[in-house]
Chains A and B, each alone.
Chain A
Amino acid sequence: IAGITQAPTSQILAAGRRMTLRCTQDMRHNAMYWYRQDLGLGLRLIHYSNTAGTTGKGEVPDGYSVSRANTDDFPLTLASAVPSQTSVYFCASSDSATSGSDEQFFGPGTRLTVL
């Protein structure tokens, strides 16, 4: 069981380019999340999805979009990357309906550099 996988592991991207970060979970969790982590700012929620077919905005959604076509996948797209989007991106999932808690399981992260 892999848990949560993210791809790519790291990426250097020219400003203005479009980029999709991939996230897949095999735990059949209903909820999935995208965070960015910047030094000194902790983890901040970008977008989330409580169940397949629904998405919502988090704390810092501008410049990002997500989709949730099925339970397992939750891609994050940067339509036109800017240097301020340089960060480490973490995908997470949870299934409070099953576990009875709000524990979120995190992927290994994608390190993105926008030049």
Chain B
Amino acid sequence: GESVGLHLPTLSVQEGDNSIINCAYSNSASDYFIWYKQESGKGPQFIIDIRSNMDKRQGQRVTVLLNKTVKHLSLQIAATQPGDSAVYFCADPQGGKLIFGQGTELSVKP
């Protein structure tokens, strides 16, 4: 079946550095992706989304890049802060049902 996956299960960065979390997808027909952040003991929280007619979308300190040719998207977090420590998921809504990747755990070192 179709899947969404992340390249690395964990990522450790120094506070103030930029973080890049990658995600690959297999469904060529996918046209919309969402990034979620999940802090320990909480439910996932929407960060940013992107549609396939865009290559890049920026939010507050976050940027998502979409490369449809290689079916890859990335989440970039600028000036990573301790509060960014969480598990990050990319998700592909297929017919309204979210297909989640396994998640990347981001740890921020002070």
Contact, CB under 8 Å: A90 / B102:
no
Residues of B close to A92: CB separation below 8 A: 43, 98
Residues of B close to A103: CB separation below 8 A: 34, 46, 49
Contact, CB under 8 Å: A42 / B96:
no
Cα separation A105 to B42 with both chains bound (whole Å): 12
Quick one: CB contact mask for A77-96 with B, threshold 8 Å, 1 for yes?
00000000000001010101
Quick one: CB contact mask for B98-110 with A, threshold 8 Å, 1 for yes?
1111110000000
Residues of A close to B32: CB separation below 8 A: 101-102
From A31, which residue of chain B is reached at the shortest CB distance? B96
Residues of A close to B99: CB separation below 8 A: 45
Size class of the contact patch on chain B: 10 to 19
Known contacts A90-B43, A102-B93; A43 and B49 CB within 8 A of each other: no
Cα separation A50 to B89 with both chains bound (whole Å): 23
Residues of B close to A108: CB separation below 8 A: 42-43
Size class of the contact patch on chain A: 20 to 34
Residues of B close to A43: CB separation below 8 A: 44, 89, 98, 100
From B46, which residue of chain A is reached at the shortest CB distance? A103
Within 8 A of A (CB), among B6-35: 32, 34
Query: Given contacts A58-B97, A101-B34, could you give 4 more A-B pairs where the C-beta distance is less than 8 Å?
Result: A43-B44, A45-B97, A94-B96, A107-B43
Which residues from chain A sit less than 8 Å from chain B, CB to CB? 4, 31, 33, 40-45, 48, 50, 58, 90, 92, 94, 96, 101-109
18 A-B contact pairs sorted by A residue (CB < 8 Å)? A31-B96, A33-B97, A33-B98, A40-B102, A41-B102, A43-B89, A43-B98, A44-B100, A45-B99, A50-B96, A101-B49, A102-B49, A102-B96, A103-B49, A104-B98, A106-B43, A106-B44, A108-B42
Which residues from chain B sit less than 8 Å from chain A, CB to CB? 32, 34, 41-46, 49, 89, 93, 96-103
